Amino acid sequence: MSQTFHIPGQPITAYVQRIEIKKLREGSNLILGFSIGGGIDQDPGQNPFSEDKTDKGIYVTRVTPGGPAEDAGLIMGDKIMQVNGWDMTMVTHDQARKKLTKKSEDVVRLLVTRKSLEDAVRKSM
Amino acid sequence: MFCRNQTSRATVARGSALEMEIRRGRCRRSIFLDTLQDSDIQKKIDHEIRMRDGACKLLAACSQRDQALEASKSLLTCNTRIMAYMSELQRMKEAQVMQRVARRSSDAGPMDDRHPCKAKVAISDLRIPLMWKDTEYFKNKGELHRCAVFCLLQLGGQSFDTDMVMVDRTLTDICFENTIVFEEVSPGFELRVELYSSSWEDGGSAGSTPRKLASKLSSSLGRSAGKRMRAAMEPGGNSPTSHGGGTTLLLPVPSVPGPKYHLLAHTTLTLTHVQDSFRTHDLSITANEECSFWLPLYGSVCCRLAAQPHCMTQQMMSGQLRVKLGGDPQGWTDIYGVLKGTKLFCYHKQDDKEASVDPAVTIGINKETRIRAAEKDPHSKAQSICISNQYGGEEVTHTLSTDSREDTQRWMEAFWQQFYDMSQWKQCCDDLMKIDLPSPRKPALISPKQGSLYHEMVIDTSDDISTVTDILTRRMHDSDLRSRLEQATPTPVWLSLFEEDCSPPTTPIPSHYQKPPVPRPCSSPRSPARASPRCGGRLSSLASLTSESDSPCSTSPCSRHGWTPEPPAAPPSFRPRTLSLDAKLSSLRVRGYSAGLQCACQTPAAVTSGSPHRAPALAGLSCSSTSSTSSSSSEGSGGPDSDLPFSRPGAAGRSARNLRSKLDPRNWLQSQV
C-alpha cells in the first residue's frame, strides 16, 4: 500500500497479482517452497519488507530457488493478501501458515501485492 | 451428420433408410429419441427409489448417531434426485406434446435456430462464515451444541451433496472441501445451493424406537392405534408403488425414524456468478433462531464457480485449409486448421497436432475478431474467408480458402457457432478456467474438539521442519566442500539439519513428536567431519527439529554462541534452520544434560586456514522440540531462515547482509511452507 498508511477500520485496496502455486508432493508431504513472516501476533517493526512499519500482514521472507513458489512467480518481499479466498491481512502467523499448508489442497491461489506492482500500474495510468 | 449441440442418446445407423428420411426432413430425429430418453429417466428414478429404500432401512437399523446422520443425508439426496427426475420427465412429456402440436400446424424445417454449446461447471471450496455471539464463542464450559450440516447442489437434473460437517461454536466457518462438477450444462443454468442442518441432540426422540418395542406397542395400544403407530414407525411403509414403466406415484416422503435435516439457507447461482476466482454470494436464510438446527450464519457463502464451455476445451472444427497473410497474392500456405477455444491453430500437417508440434500459425478468434466472406475470387471456385484481428492497434488480416464451396460454408458455420457460443458464455470464454478434480486423499479425521477456539495446536508430521528441510536440502545442489566432508565419519543425525547443502541422513529423522525417541548418536564427540566450516557459522540457536520430548539430546536452555566468521569459501546462499527465541523458550523441556551434544566440529584441515572454534558451545544446544502442545501459539512449522547476526566476510553484499540480519528469526518469527 502507498505512503499514506492504512487507517485501521478502513478498507484496504491494493493492486494484486494472482499467483497459483501447485504444491510439490514429496512422499506424504506437500511443500510450497517459501517462508512467511508477520501476523497480527508478531512485531511488525521487525519486518524488513514492509513500507508501513505498523503493517501486520503476511510477507514472503524467502523463496526457495527452484521450488514451486519460485516457478509460480512469487518474489521475496511480496505481501500475501489472500490464500484460496482466505484473508491474510488480519490473521495470526500460525493461522496463515495453516491456511497455506492444508493437506487436502494441492493448489494454493494467492493474491499478492508488492511495491513494484503498484508503481508499475501507477506509471501505466 | 454434424450435429454438435444436440443431446442425442440414440444413434441412427448411417446410410439407413431412417437416416435418409431424417435427412430429407420428413421426420425429425426427436420422435425416436424421446422414448429412449424417457426410459432412461425412468431407469434413473427406479434406481433412486431403490437407493432411498436402502437408506430408509439403514436409518432404521442404525445405532450410531453419525451413521444415522449419513443415512439421513443420503435419503434426502435421493428424494431430491427423484423429484428432479420427475419434474424433468414431466417437462419432456410436455415438450413432446408441444412439438407434436407445432409440427402439425407448421412444417418445421431442420434445426435452424442455434444452440449454444454445453459446458462443464464446477463449484468448489464452499465456505459459509458463521457469526457467533462473542459470549457463545469463548465459552469454555457448558455443552457444545453441535449441528451436522451439508450442502445440496442442484443443477438441471443433477443433484449432488457434499460431505457432512459437524459444526459447533468453535468453528468460525463451515467449509466444504468437495469439488462438484456438473456436466453438459447450458448457459442459462441455475445452480441451487441449499444448506441443510440437523441438530446433534435432535432426531432420535420419537423416531428410533426399535422394532420389537414398536410391535409390543402396537399390540398393547389396541389394534387400530397400534397399527397406525407401527406404520408410522416402520420405514418404507409408505414407499411409492412404481407401476411398470409408466408414471411413478410419488407419495409424500416416508416418515422415517432418525435424525432429520432441515433447510437452513439457500441461494441460486447463474452464469453471472461464474468467475475464475473466489467470490462471495448472498444467502437467503430460511430458518429462525428458535429452531433446534439453527446456526448463526453471517449471511453469505464464498465459493469458486468455474465453467469450461465445450467450445473452449474441445476441438470444434478441423480440416485442410489454405491460408495467407494480408493481401499478399502469392503467400498461400497449405495447412491443417483446428478451431479450438479462442484460437485457430494452423498446423503444417495433421500429424503435427497429434505430435504436439507447435502450430505454424495461430489466429486468434475472439470477441474482437471480424470474419467475413471475401468476394468471389474469379480464379478459384470457392469463396475465401477473411479473418481480421486487432493486434495492438494494427489490423492483421488472414485469408482462408478451401477447395470447395461446401467446405467454406462449413467453416463459416463453425465460426458463427463459435461466436454464438462466446456470446452466450460471456466471461467463460475469455480464458480457460481451471477445474481441479478432487484428488483421492485420506478421509479427514473427525477430531473431537472441545473447549474454546484457542485450543491445542497439533503440529503435524508434515509441518515439522525436519521433513521440510530434508526435502529442500535434497533439492539443493551439492557443493565441493560437502562432498569432501561426506567421506567423514558418520555425524549425528541432527547436524545435517543445520546445513542446507548437505544431503540428509539416510535414516529418516523421526519427526513426529509422538514417535518413540531415537537414541541420538550425539553422544559421540567426534562427529567433526560433518561440520563444514559453514556448519559452524550456522549455529546460533538451535532447533533440533527432531527431538522428541524424551530425547536425550534435548534441553538445555537455549543460548547463543558466538562463532567466528566463516571462511570466504562458504557459499552465500545457505541459511540455518533456527527457531525464534520465543518459540524456543516456550517449549523448553528441561532435562538433565544426559549426553549433551558434543559436536566438536572441526574443519578439515584442507579446507580452511582458520578453524572456527566451536564445540563446547554446542553442548549448550537447545534441542527444543517442536512439539509445542498447548503453549506456544507462535510456533510455526519452524523452518525459518535466519541469518547470522555476525558478519560474513565477502560473500554477500552489504544490503543482503543487512536483510539477512533483519530476517533473524530471533527477532521475527518465520515459517517455512
Cell of B154: 442442484
Interface probe, candidates B125, B275, B512, B670, chain A, greatest A C-beta count within 10 A: B670
- A48, A92, A101 member nearest B463 (Cβ): A101
Say yes or no for a CB contact (<8 Å) between A42 and B436. Answer: no
Residue B166's nearest CA partner among B153, B143, B150 is B150
Say yes or no for a CB contact (<8 Å) between B670 and A62. Answer: yes
**Residues from chain A contacting residue B177 (CB–CB below 8 Å):** 104
Q: What does the DSSP assignment read for B570-587?
A: S-TT---B---HHHHHHT
What are the b/e assignments for B267-276, b being 16+ CB within 10 Å?
A: bebebeebeb
Beta bridge partners of B167: B147
> Quick one: closest CA in A to B574, which residue?
A64
> Can you give the pLDDT at residue B356?
67
**Residues from chain A contacting residue B125 (CB–CB below 8 Å):** 84-85
Say yes or no for a CB contact (<8 Å) between A94 and B125. Answer: no
Say yes or no for a CB contact (<8 Å) between B462 and A30. Answer: yes
**Is B643 in contact with B665 (CB distance < 8 Å)?**
no
Question: What is the tens place of the pLDDT at every residue in B472-522?
Answer: 666 665 554 555 555 544 455 555 555 544 444 444 444 443 444 444 443
> Quick one: closest CA in A to B664, which residue?
A46
Tell me the percentage of chain A whose pLDDT exceeds 70. 97
Work out the widest C-alpha separation in chain B, in whole angstroms: 103
Q: Round to whole Å and give the CA distance between B53 and B75.
A: 8
Beta strands in A48-100 (DSSP E): 58-63, 79-83, 86-87
**Residues from chain B contacting residue A58 (CB–CB below 8 Å):** none
> Can you give the pLDDT at residue B522?
39
What are the b/e assignments for B1-12, b being 16+ CB within 10 Å?
A: eeeebeeeeeeb
Chain A (66-85) residues lying within 8 Å, Cβ to Cβ, of chain B: 66-67, 82, 84-85
Cell of A112: 499478492
pTM greater than the 0.80 cutoff: no
Would you call A53 an interface residue with chain B, using a CB distance cutoff of 8 Å?
no
Say yes or no for a CB contact (<8 Å) between B670 and A103. Answer: no
- A36, A43, A92 member nearest B670 (Cβ): A36
Residue B528's nearest CA partner among B472, B597, B575, B577 is B597
> What distance lies between CA B97 and its chain's CA centroid?
43
**Residues from chain B contacting residue A106 (CB–CB below 8 Å):** 436, 439
- A35, A64, A101 member nearest B670 (Cβ): A35
Q: Round to whole Å and give the CA distance between B128 and B668.
A: 33
Beta strands in B74-156 (DSSP E): 119-129, 147-155
Helix (H, G, I), strand (E, B) or coil at B609: coil
> What distance lies between CA B295 and its chain's CA centroid?
26
> Can you give the pLDDT at residue B223?
63
- B441, B467, B668 member nearest A37 (Cβ): B668
What is the number of alpha carbons within 13 Å of residue B1 lying toward its C-beta?
Answer: 21
Residue B436's nearest CA partner among A27, A72, A105 is A105
Would you call A1 an interface residue with chain B, using a CB distance cutoff of 8 Å?
no
- What secondary structure letter does DSSP report for B130? B
**Is B73 in contact with B261 (CB distance < 8 Å)?**
yes
Q: Round to whole Å and give the CA distance between B82 and B45.
A: 6
**Is B196 in contact with B259 (CB distance < 8 Å)?**
no
**Is B435 in contact with B181 (CB distance < 8 Å)?**
yes
> Quick one: closest CA in B to A93, which residue?
B634
Cell of B587: 517449549
Question: What is the tens place of the pLDDT at every residue in B30-51?
Answer: 555 556 677 888 888 888 888 8
Phi first, then psi: give them for residue B435, nearest 5 degrees.
-120, 115
Say yes or no for a CB contact (<8 Å) between A64 and B671. Answer: no
> Quick one: closest CA in A to B179, which residue?
A105
What are the b/e assignments for B380-402, b being 16+ CB within 10 Å?
A: eebbbbbbbbeeeeeeeebbbbb
Say yes or no for a CB contact (<8 Å) between A28 and B457. Answer: no
**Is B123 in contact with B180 (CB distance < 8 Å)?**
yes
Distances (CA, A) of B416 to B114, B324, B371, B558: 10, 21, 9, 73
Chain A (12-41) residues lying within 8 Å, Cβ to Cβ, of chain B: 18, 24, 26, 28-39, 41
Chain A nearest C-alpha distance from B476 (Å): 8
Cell of B451: 473447549
Q: Angle at CA B75, nearest 5°, toward B72 and B79? A: 145
> Quick one: closest CA in A to B637, which residue?
A97
Pairing outcome for strands B262-269 and A79-83: unpaired
**Is B191 in contact with B154 (CB distance < 8 Å)?**
yes
Distances (CA, A) of B560 to B548, B648, B670: 22, 17, 18
The single residue listed with the C-alpha cell 470447395 is: B404
Distances (CA, A) of B464 to A31, A101, B214, B468, B543: 11, 11, 55, 7, 11
**Is B493 in contact with B465 (CB distance < 8 Å)?**
no
Q: Which run of H or of E encompasses B308?
A: strand B300-309
> Can you give the pLDDT at residue A16?
92
Say yes or no for a CB contact (<8 Å) between B672 and A34. Answer: yes
- A36, A38, A106 member nearest B439 (Cβ): A106
- What secondary structure letter does DSSP report for B273? G
> Can you give the pLDDT at residue B472?
60
**Is B232 in contact with B255 (CB distance < 8 Å)?**
yes
Say yes or no for a CB contact (<8 Å) between A62 and B663. Answer: yes
Say yes or no for a CB contact (<8 Å) between B634 and A93. Answer: yes
**Residues from chain A contacting residue B439 (CB–CB below 8 Å):** 106
**Residues from chain B contacting residue A94 (CB–CB below 8 Å):** 457, 633-636, 671
Question: What is the tens place of the pLDDT at every residue in B341-397?
Answer: 888 888 877 776 666 667 777 777 777 788 887 766 666 566 778 888 877 777 888
> Quick one: closest CA in B to A24, which residue?
B471
- A85, A94, A101 member nearest B633 (Cβ): A94
- A29, A61, A64 member nearest B670 (Cβ): A61
**Is B468 in contact with B459 (CB distance < 8 Å)?**
no
Q: Round to whole Å and give the CA distance between B401 and B320.
A: 9
Beta bridge partners of A22: A107
**Residues from chain A contacting residue B635 (CB–CB below 8 Å):** 94
**Residues from chain B contacting residue A92 (CB–CB below 8 Å):** 633-634
Say yes or no for a CB contact (<8 Å) between B472 and A33. Answer: yes
B96 Cβ contact list (under 8 Å, min separation 6):
B34
Cell of B209: 424406537
Q: Residue B185 CB: number of other CB atoms within 10 A? A: 22
> Can you give the pLDDT at residue B555?
39
Beta bridge partners of B159: B154
**Residues from chain A contacting residue B667 (CB–CB below 8 Å):** 43, 46
Cell of B2: 454434424
The single residue listed with the C-alpha cell 510456533 is: B635
**Is B35 in contact with B41 (CB distance < 8 Å)?**
no
Give CA torsion, residues B482, B484, B490, B494, to 10 deg. -10
- B304, B468, B670 member nearest A31 (Cβ): B468
> What distance lies between CA B68 and its chain's CA centroid?
28
**Residues from chain B contacting residue A85 (CB–CB below 8 Å):** 125, 127, 277-278, 302, 304
Residue B255's nearest CA partner among B239, B266, B271 is B239
Q: Round to whole Å and give the CA distance between B467 and B101.
A: 71
Distances (CA, A) of B184 to B5, B6, B236: 10, 11, 34
In residues, how long is chain B?
673
**Residues from chain A contacting residue B436 (CB–CB below 8 Å):** 106-107
Distances (CA, A) of B481 to B235, B470, B487, B498, B506: 75, 19, 11, 15, 19
Counting one residue from chain A and one from chain B, the pairs whose CB atoms sit within 8 A come to: 108
Say yes or no for a CB contact (<8 Å) between B659 and A48. Answer: yes
Cell of B409: 460454408
Distances (CA, A) of B642 to B370, B404, B623: 57, 70, 17
- Ranges of residues in chain B with a pLDDT under 70 are 1-19, 21-36, 104-112, 136-143, 202-257, 326-329, 352-357, 375-382, 438-654
Q: Round to whole Å and give the CA distance between B412 and B374.
A: 11
Say yes or no for a CB contact (<8 Å) between B641 and A61. Answer: yes
